Structure 1
Amino acid sequence: MSNQVSPFHIAIPVHNLDDCRAFYRDVLNCEEGRSSDHWVDFNFFGHQLVIHYKPQSQEDLHTNPVDGKSVPVPHYGVVLNWSDFHDFADHLRLKKVNFIIEPYVRFEGQTGEQVTMFFLDPAGNALEFKAFKDQTQLFAK
């Protein structure tokens, strides 16, 4: 397996295609790509994200404890660089995004020190954006 970083592809279910399309395009500023009446793909920070229509589920949001916070499971997101993270957090605040976990420093002073934040898209999918103080500690133990 190569250490080269390649774009990933993720497909997520949404029960409200139009609302989610607007959220990813207008709030997160993701460029829209191809689409149909059942799916839309986006450039999600250099990766391909596809939102697919699926009828709404009644499943509750599950969480696991991490660093004293209730982290939503499942979740997906992107690792940004330190300054981009803070700029993006400010942008989300201006867009009035409701955070599940407000931006904060996790594992402060420890291996893997990072800033992180969690919020939901309009379909209830949990997103995490993070940045490492020292990017070389992304996979450090």
Structure 2
Amino acid sequence: MTQITQFHLAFPVRDLDEARRFYGGVMGCPMGRSDVSYQDFDFFGHHLVAHISGEGKPLQGGRFDGEDVPIPHFGMNLDREAWEALARRLRDAGIAFHEEPHLRLKGKPGQHVTMFLFDPSGNALEFKSFDDPEQTFIP
């Protein structure tokens, strides 16, 4: 199996500034890209994304690069070869994708391919492969 580089977790928060103070300030996690609905963190080398939920209610979906994404979700940032092999394995198994494998942030820093699916219990999974892994946490 190919070496895993980064765990990825997207989770709901009630207040982005509060999350920034806690994860960025108190925990010391460098902050990456963000907008009004989410904030990326370098969580000890792993990819954490806080999505605003509003009023402490569970978030049904967030927005990223103009697309709706299920929140919470988790997965891995893989190298391209492992990502492509996983996409083939999932297709060969007849797994239905929530988001078919596709390119995100086209032509922008942090460009990557991604795919979303749900496990049999309804947990949302995302698998990514960055064109340049050094751009995972860029603002």
TM-score, normalised relative to structure 1: 0.56
Deviation for aligned residue 1:7: 8.4
The one of the two structures with greater contact order (alpha-carbon pairs below 8 A, sep at least 6) is 2
Q: Which residue of 2 aligns with 1:109?
A: 107
Letter in 2 for 1:89: A
Which is greater in Rg? 1
The whole-number CA distance in structure 1 between the counterparts of 2:124 and 2:88 is: 19
Where do 5+ consecutive residues of structure 2 fail to align? 10-57
TM-score, normalised relative to structure 2: 0.57
RMSD of aligned Cα (Å)? 2.5
**For residues 7 and 108 of structure 1, do their structure 2 counterparts lie closer, same or farther at Cα, with a shift above 3 Å needed?**
closer
Q: Deviations over 1:4-47 (max 9, x none)?
A: x9987x9xxxxxxxxxxxxxxxxxxxxxxxxxxxxxxxxxxxxx
Where do 5+ consecutive residues of structure 1 fail to align? 11-59
Report runs of 4+ in structure 1 exceeding 3 Å deviation: 5-8
Count of residue correspondences: 87
Q: Deviations over 1:59-82 (max 9, x none)?
A: x98111212321000000001001
Identity over aligned pairs, percent: 41
